[in-house]
Structure 1
Amino acid sequence: MFQSIVDFMRNIFDSLHNFIVSMGVSDVGLSYVLAIFIFTLIIRILILPFNIKAAKSTQGMQKIQPEIKKIQEKYKDDKEKLSTETMKLYKEHNVSMTGGCLPSLLPLPILMALYWVFMGIHGIEGASFLWITNLFAPDNWHILPVLAALSTYIPSYLMSKATPAQPGGMNMGTMNITMAGMMGVMSWNFSAILVLYWIIGNIIQTIQTYFLNYKPAIKEIDSRKEKEAKVESEKFVMAVEEPKNLASRKRKKNK
């Protein structure tokens, strides 16, 4: 089964590379980089519907935050009841806690398949790009592993900022750093072109996360803060006006 997936990926990648070469791109390294760029773009377009669905789920979680806070306050001493009522609220509003996980996990099996695809390419001479002397070997300058770690962390960071914290949930900050560190270490031994696939995919994911998750979430948070500030302002005005009204009624009564 896995070999079939590898063969399928190899056929797609070879077709893209042959197409680029037929378009007149004679530089070996550039032709392979363009092939991996188009391949990554196709993959990200295919999983875009999952990203949109995950974004809607995250936005739904943001909208019900006031109700979640009420439940947390009401059942702060009863964790079982808190969990039950929270899940009930999610179900009523069609919100999924795991909605944002699938898009981030889907590229990983493809990464594994591509590893074996590129392992099977031999005899490529002159496949260099920018500072990379050999696209099918690890980066001698160790720049790509650093970029892989950074590009893994940034979309995860934006997603954690856009996703409301859950009671008893994992520390997303620590998990994001750990995941980024793991990808950086793994990239030290991966071929440069495989790491480029991961970096390009993460750049596209960062753009999607910013516009689909982070920006709407920040807008929702600002809107909620504005409403809360307005309510507090109205309460303050009422608190100031109440003694004045009471004094006015007393004066009228004395008259």
Structure 2
Amino acid sequence: MFQAIVNFMKGIFDSLHDFIVSMGISDVGLSYVLAIFIFTLIIRILILPFNIKAAKSSQGMQKIQPEVKKLQAKYKDDPQKLNTETMRLYKENNVSVAGGCLPSLLPLPILMALYWVFMGIQGIEGASFLWIHDLFAPDKYYILPVLAALSTYIPSYLMSKSTPSQPGGMNMGSMNLVMAGMMGVMSLNFKSILVLYWIIGNLIQTIQTYFLNYRPAMREMDDKTQKDAVAESDKFVVAVEESKNSASKKRKKK
């Protein structure tokens, strides 16, 4: 089954590369980089519906945070009951905790399949790009592994900032760092073209996460802050008026 997936992806990648070469791109390295860019773009477009669904779930979670906080206060001494009631609240509001993780997990099986696709390409000479002397060998300057780690961390960071923390949940900050570190270390031994696929995909994911998750969440928080400020201002005005009325009544009594 896995070999069939590898063969399928190899056929797509080879077709993309042949198409680019037929367009007059004679530079071997550039033709492969363009092929991986188009391939990555296709993959990201295909999983875009999952990103949109995850974004809606995240926004729904943001809206029910006041209710979640009430449950946390009510069942602070009963973690099991808190978890049950929280899950019930999520279900009633059609919110999925796992939904936000799916888009980040989907590219991993593709990465594994592409590893074997590129392992099968032999005899490529002169496939260089920018500082990379051989696209089908690890980056000896370690620039790509660093970029792989950074590009893995940034969209995860934006996602964690736009997703409210869950009661009893994992520390997402630490998890993001561990994931980014793992990808950086793994990229030390990966072929450069495979690492380029990961970096390009993460850059696209960062743009999607910013516009689908982070920006709406920040706008929602700004709106809430403004509403709270208005509410506090109204309370202050009411308190001042009550103080004036009270003082006026005391003077009349005198």
User: What TM bracket, shorter-length normalisation?
Assistant: over 0.9
Partner Cα separation in structure 1 for residue 227 and residue 98 of structure 2? 29
Question: For 1:1-255, what aligned pairs fall within 5 Å after superposition?
Answer: 1-252=1-252, 254=253
Deviations 1:63-87 (A, max 9, x none): 1111211221222222122112211
**Inter-partner Cα distance in structure 2 for 1:142 and 1:217:** 35
Task: Report how far residue 62 of structure 1 moved.
Answer: 0.8
Which whole-Å CA distance do the structure 2 matches of 1:212 and 1:219 have between them? 12
SS in 1 for 2:98: coil
| Cα distance in 2 between the residues matched to 1:87 and 1:235 | 35
CA–CA distance in 2 between the matches of 1:27 and 1:137? Answer: 18
Separation (CA, whole Å) in 2 of partners of 1:26 and 1:243: 82
Q: Which moved more, 1:89-98 or 1:65-74?
A: 65-74
SS at match of 1:95: coil
The structural deviation recorded for 1:251 is 3.5
Q: Please say which of residues 141-150 and 76-85 is displaced more in the overlay.
A: 76-85
Q: Deviations over 1:107-131 (max 9, x none)?
A: 0000000000000000111100001
**CA distance in structure 1 between the partners assigned to 2:183 and 2:27 by the alignment:** 29
Aligned residues: 254
> Where do 4+ consecutive residues of structure 1 move more than 6 Å?
none
TM-score normalised by L of structure 2:
0.97
Mean Cα deviation higher: 138-147 or 74-83: 74-83
Shift of 1:250: 3.5
> CA RMSD of the aligned region, Å?
1.0
Structure-1-length-normalised TM-score: 0.97
Distance in 2 separating the partners of 1:196 and 1:245: 71
Quote how far apart the aligned CAs of 1:240 are.
Answer: 2.3
- Deviation (angstroms), 1:37: 0.3
